[in-house]
Amino acid sequence: MSPSTIPVYFQCSTATVDVGCVETILRESMLIDPSARIHVSAEVSQESHVGARTVIWHHAQVREGARIGADCVIGKGVYVDVGVVVGDRCKIQNGALLYRGVTLENGVFVGPGAILTNDRLPRAINPDGTLKQSTDWVISPIRVREGASIGAGAVIVAGVTIGRFAMVGAGAVVTKDVEDYQLVFGNPARPQGWVNASGQRVSSRKEAEEGLREEG
């Protein structure tokens, strides 16, 4: 555990009805909202921001400089890397991995075991055989726009933008940008149609956009 990690050694004994064995921690850090609930086993940097009412479950790790918004659910074993940005009302399911350079806008769903990567041409070593350092490679950022969903086990290749309310199917490997309201799946992920804000299939992007305006 790094020195900048909040020590959460209290006994987790007062289970609550809705979220189970999670407690509110009185924190010295001003960056973590007092109403956030962080499981005793989670490792949350004091240099990260965690918004109001956000719940962070067992064994999740939130690194320094990460910013998590309000009313989020961060599942068991989720990894939120240095500087990652997560908007409000996001749900990140168990075991999802969000690497540096990832930005999730508000209301994004990330399914269990999904991986959002950051290096298009990964190498451990330089051509001279020396170990690559953190400055020896370029981050290709990923942006997931408002309301979009990423299915279980999907891999999002670095540099991709996923549009508003888009839907990525389970197990997809996304190598290209996804349009607003577009449904993609497969390896490589291909456009498979359109979905509305509720996730139901519709015949066109126009229909999806009109549906949102009517609901709004």
Ligand X SMILES: CC(C)(COP(=O)(O)OP(=O)(O)OC[C@H]1O[C@@H](n2cnc3c(N)ncnc32)[C@H](O)[C@@H]1OP(=O)(O)O)[C@@H](O)C(=O)NCCC(=O)NCCS
Task: Point out which residues bind ligand X (CB under 6 A).
Answer: 111-112, 151-152, 167, 169-171, 185-186, 201
Tell me 136's DSSP state. Answer: S
CB of 96 to ligand X, least distance (A): 10
Q: By C-beta, is 142 or 167 nearer to ligand X?
A: 167
Q: By C-beta, is 51 or 169 nearer to ligand X?
A: 169
CB of 154 to ligand X, least distance (A): 7
Q: By C-beta, is 66 or 183 nearer to ligand X?
A: 183
Q: By C-beta, is 6 or 172 nearer to ligand X?
A: 172
Q: Which of 53, 52, 55, 51 shows the shortest CA–CA distance to 19? A: 55
Query: Do residues 117 and 135 lie in contact, with contact meaning Cβ atoms separated by under 8 Å?
Result: no
CB of 112 to ligand X, least distance (A): 6
CB of 197 to ligand X, least distance (A): 14
Q: By C-beta, is 57 or 185 nearer to ligand X?
A: 185
- Cα 82 from Cα 47, distance rounded (Å): 10
- Cα 127 from Cα 89, distance rounded (Å): 44
> Burial level of 92, CB count in 10 A (0-12/13-18/19+)?
buried
Please spell the DSSP secondary structure of 191-211, one letter per residue: EEEEE-TTS-EES-HHHHHHH
- 211: phi then psi, degrees, rounded to nearest 5: -60, -40
CB of 152 to ligand X, least distance (A): 4
